[in-house]
Amino acid sequence: MKTILTGAALAVLAATGASAQDAVTLQLKWVTQAQFAGYYVAKDKGFYTEEGLDVTIKPGGPDVAPVQVLLGGGADVMVDWLPSALAAREQGAAIVNIAQPFKSSGMQLTCLKESGVATPADFAGKTLGVWFGGNEYPFLNWMSKLGLSTDGGDGVTVLKQGFNVDPLLQKQAACISTMTYNEYWQVIDAGITPEQLVNFNYTTEGVATLEDGLYAMEDKLADPAFEEKMVKFVRASMKGWKYAEENPDEAAMIVLENDDTGAQTEAHQKRMMGEIAKLTAGSNGALDVADFDATVAALMGGGSDPVISKVPEGAWTSAVTDKALN
Say whether 107-201 and 18-104+210-324 share the same fold. Answer: yes
Confidence of residue 302 (pLDDT cuts 50, 70, 90): low
The answer on pLDDT for 221 being more than 50 is yes
Q: Residue type for 259, please?
A: D
CB atoms within 10 A of CB 284: 15
Range 65-81 average pLDDT: 96
- Percent above pLDDT 70 for the chain: 93
The answer on pLDDT for 10 being more than 50 is no
pTM confidence score:
0.88
DSSP state, residue 205: T
Confidence of residue 207 (pLDDT cuts 50, 70, 90): confident
* Better-scored residue on pLDDT, 195 or 3: 195
| Per-residue confidence (pLDDT) for residue 13, from 0 to 100 | 37
Confidence of residue 15 (pLDDT cuts 50, 70, 90): very low
Each domain of the chain, given as residue ranges in start order, spans 18-104+210-324, 107-201
| Per-residue confidence (pLDDT) for residue 75, from 0 to 100 | 98
Q: What is the DSSP string of 250-265?
A: HHHHHHHHT-TT----
CB-based burial, 187-213: b 16+ in 10 Å, e otherwise: bbeeebeeeebbebbbeeeebbbbbbb
Q: What is the DSSP string of 275-294?
A: HHHHHHTT--BPPPHHHHHH
The answer on pLDDT for 136 being more than 80 is yes
| Per-residue confidence (pLDDT) for residue 303, from 0 to 100 | 59
- Give 254-279 pLDDT, tens digit per residue: 999 999 998 899 999 999 999 999 99
* Better-scored residue on pLDDT, 3 or 187: 187
| Per-residue confidence (pLDDT) for residue 5, from 0 to 100 | 43
d(CA 34, CA 143): 30
CB atoms within 10 A of CB 64: 17
- Choose which CATH entry (3.40.190.10, 3.30.70.1140, 3.40.980.10, 1.10.10.10) describes domain 18-104+210-324: 3.40.190.10
Contacts of 234 (CB under 8 A, 6+ apart): 98, 99, 214, 285, 320, 321, 324
Rg (alpha carbons) of the chain, rounded to whole number: 21
Confidence of residue 1 (pLDDT cuts 50, 70, 90): very low
- Choose which CATH entry (3.90.700.10, 3.40.190.10, 3.40.50.620, 3.90.226.10) describes domain 107-201: 3.40.190.10
| Per-residue confidence (pLDDT) for residue 161, from 0 to 100 | 94
- Give 28-54 pLDDT, tens digit per residue: 999 999 999 999 999 999 999 999 999
C-beta separation of 36 from 28 below 8 A: yes
| Per-residue confidence (pLDDT) for residue 304, from 0 to 100 | 57
| Per-residue confidence (pLDDT) for residue 160, from 0 to 100 | 95
The answer on pLDDT for 20 being more than 80 is no
| Per-residue confidence (pLDDT) for residue 169, from 0 to 100 | 97
